[in-house]
Amino acid sequence: MPAFQANLLNQKIYAPYKIAALVDAVAAQGIAPEVVMDGLGLDREALADPATLVCIKQYIDACTNVIEAGANLSTPFETAARLHLTAYGMYGYALLTSPTIRDYFNFGVKYHPLATPTLHMTWRESEESAIFAFKEAYSYITNINTRNFLIQQQMGQNVIHIRDAVGPSLTPTKALLAYSDAGTRDIHEKYLGCECHFDQETSEIHYPKEILDQSPLLGNQLSIKLLQETCNQLLGQTKMSSGITGEVYQVLMMSPNSFPSMEAVADLLCITTRTLRRKLDAEMTSYREILDDARCTLATEYLLATKMSTDDIAARLGFSDSANFRRAFKRWTGKSPHQFRKSG
């Protein structure tokens, strides 16, 4: 996962739209908002206040609350059905205006930290399919029912969002679930619209590969560039708000032409190198991962916003030669610098 994502758990930087959707989903079941928000430090007034910000942990705890209150097994999918792309602000509108579904997939994964992420999400291509995979992101979640709830909701959202972009007729070819059936097969297949396979090694949802070159209904090359710039700014703010990881990221971004060593960063933060390493370990990241993240962010900005050559970008980011930079960039993004600049 991105170096900063593991520490987003307690950062109050998200609008409470997911908690609001959960409250609405269980209201018809007789579960009161106060039950959903028990222990969250929120009430109905705060939930309706546009200035309210919440963290991922609060949403996870709300999910646990409704499970313990006896919510229907279809609740994660019913919650997902209330979370259309328009609920996600700039991130959602950017997805809707992606030029192709391949762009949509790339954008969705890169900027997922803007969407109150409860799971780590990736995608890949096989010979026949475009595949989204979902993995746990937070060791905080020890309740197996909560873990499964979040996977079900995320997969439901995935289907809803892609249908928002290309129309209601699109259906996955299959879904793989890394947990047992437990009598919910019919519910899964009703909401996901495909055959579901349980007790698998990973949780994935497969789409026909030919959709990758399809254009979303609102695809617009100019709009996506403008929205991507805004999302880049929001993503940077998210990274910089995330604990010691964010502090290190800020230091590196303030010195893009000559990144300080880990020892120098520790000195700037007035702690020892050993303490910095221990704190980063606690946030499930490392100096090297944060440096890669900063370099990747700057490299993409240079490629899209300037006419700098690959050699110049490599030198500015501290690579010994352009070949090493090209290899690193391919590892970060799956594309060569030339391919990335051309696609942008």
Cα–Cα–Cα angle for 251, 255, 259, rounded to 5 degrees: 90
pLDDT higher than 90, residue 341: no
34 vs 150: CA distance, rounded Å: 21
Predicted pLDDT of residue 12: 80
Tell me if the pTM is above 0.75: no
The 10 Å Cβ neighbour count of residue 192 is 22
**Percent over 90 (pLDDT), the chain:** 56
Query: Which tens digit of pLDDT belongs to each residue from 59-115?
Result: 999 999 999 999 999 999 999 999 999 988 888 998 999 999 999 999 999 888 888
266 vs 92: CA distance, rounded Å: 37
Please give the average per-residue pLDDT across 7-20, as a whole number: 82
Buried b / exposed e over 135-158, threshold 16 CB at 10 Å, is ebbbeebeeeebbbbbbbbbbbbb
Predicted pLDDT of residue 7: 54
pLDDT higher than 60, residue 3: no
37: pLDDT confidence band, cut at 50, 70 and 90? Answer: very high
pLDDT higher than 60, residue 1: no
Query: Which tens digit of pLDDT belongs to each residue from 173-193?
Result: 999 999 999 899 999 999 999
Is 43 in contact with 37 (CB distance < 8 Å)? Answer: yes
218 vs 98: CA distance, rounded Å: 8
Predicted pLDDT of residue 4: 46
DSSP 216: P
Query: Which tens digit of pLDDT belongs to each residue from 305-335?
Result: 778 899 999 988 889 889 999 999 998 888 8
Please give the average per-residue pLDDT across 233-241, as a whole number: 70
Taking the alpha carbons at both ends of the chain, their separation in whole angstroms is 23
Predicted pLDDT of residue 241: 63
Predicted pLDDT of residue 344: 64
